[in-house]
Amino acid sequence: MTSNTDKQSAMSFKGALLNKLRAALHPVRSSLPHFMGMLTLLLVAGIVAAGAFFSRGHIAAAVATLLLAISICCALAGYRIAGIIKELRSSATTLSQWRQLFFNAQWGIALVSAYDSKLLLFNPAFATMHGGERLALFGCTIDSLYAAPGKDELAFHLAQVLALGHCRFEAECLNADGRRLPVLIEGSAVKTAQEGKGFIVLNVLDISERLLAEQRLRQSESLLAQAQAQVKLGSWRLDVRQDTLEWSEECRRIFAVPADAPLTYQYFLDAVHPDDRERVNRSWQDALLGMPYDIQHRIVVRGETLWVREIAELEFSADGEICIGVGTVQDITDMKLKELELLRSRTMIRELAAHNERIREEERTRISRELHDEMGQWLTALRLDAAMLQMRIVPSDNQLARTLCDMKESIDNMIKAVRDIASSARPEALDAGLLSAAQWLLTNFKERTGVSFSIDFDPEMAAEVFGLDEPRTVAAFRILQGGFNFEVHNSTELEKEAS
């Protein structure tokens, strides 16, 4: 059955192309009567001339003239026949090439009657695409091969082909198993002189892979939009050559720009906070000269101030002109609010630490003064009592004298320890400034450890360093005191210099 179908398709196709061939050879057929008339006139003229020679008795001349006329006619006829044969061979070659193209094309090609929309001719790709036996498709109307919802649209598009001569549209054809196959159809009208004998040539292309790729692209764009919305990150693209500026959906949401609103640089600049506008414009102008563009600034959207971060990369041509710019805009308002909250927390912690240090220093001052004043007075009185007792004892009582001497020495050591503790907690030299307190600390450190230090400083900085207020003076002294205490436990050098 398939062999018969192939023969039938080939014969139909050959018949259609032969009609084209006849149309191409129409000038040859139309000029043939004129050519035959010319040969007839030439032959008649030769016969008349031969008859004239024969009537005068010139038989040889008559025969020669007749043979010459016959030879000329035969030569012209042979030349003409050779030209016709050459044209026929060229047409046969063209016919073979078109036949190979028709049957080997990977897209569907069909010839449909303009009168009743029946299939007249189609290639194997069309039959495979529409899922039917080739013999069964002959004579079928074209709308019977397509899905029901699109039949009315198909009829409309075929009418458009006949009216306009050409039309392109999409449809869904039905396979043998009822599965729908999306196709792109391009129709062209072929009109003839006879009414009702026109044709429609349909080129049918399977676009299922293209639609699948478009669906995947839409899914990717949707995922990208969701991801940008989650991180509040929009993107934009500037094409200077095409004079186009494209913003992503999230970018428009950040700036509260409608989807159909035109986008310009001035529109963006107007949304920037007035206090940041000059800085943003200057950064963009620098970026046009090749500088990096990474900036944080404020924008005003619907009366609300937001923070954004913008990053852009610009591409330049060989002559230094900007071609394309690609960038991102991220809403960092929440991050800025957290930074401000963190800054406030750090400020509060510093203030609390300063308050604690102030309370601690006040407590040290109080303890130092109580040790120096009250305990010092009691120890001094105790030493005076011991001295008076020593003067009243019997000189011969050596044991009691030694005991009193040891007691006085212990009291002196205790007085010295109290003074050291009071000075360590709050040296009196600290009231005279940082320089006096530092010199006292160096002297005391040398007495305790035998390690000598010296302090060198720039005289021009003396007024700034040693003219600090009391809280900063106390803080600087405590830092220096902590360093010396650290050296007591870790240093083995005999001479050091602190700057």
Of residues 454 and 275, more confidence is placed in 275
336-358 pLDDT, tens per residue? 999 889 999 998 988 888 788 77
What DSSP line would sit under 173-223, residue for residue?
Answer: EE-TTS-EEEEEEEEEEE--SSTT--EEEEEEEE-HHHHHHHHHHHHHHHH
> Which H or E run includes 150?
none
52-99 pLDDT, tens per residue? 777 777 778 777 877 877 877 787 777 778 877 888 888 788 878 877
137 φ, ψ (degrees, to nearest 5): -80, -20
Q: Is residue 297 scored above 90 in pLDDT?
A: yes
Kindly report the length of the chain.
499
pTM of full prediction above 0.85: no
For 57-118, where are the E strands, in sequence order? 108-113
Cα gap 325→320, rounded to integer Å: 14
Task: Please name which of 219, 251, 258 lies closest in space to residue 326, comparing C-alpha atoms.
Answer: 251
Q: How far is CA 38 from CA 29, 34, 50, 77, 211, in A?
A: 15, 6, 18, 11, 65
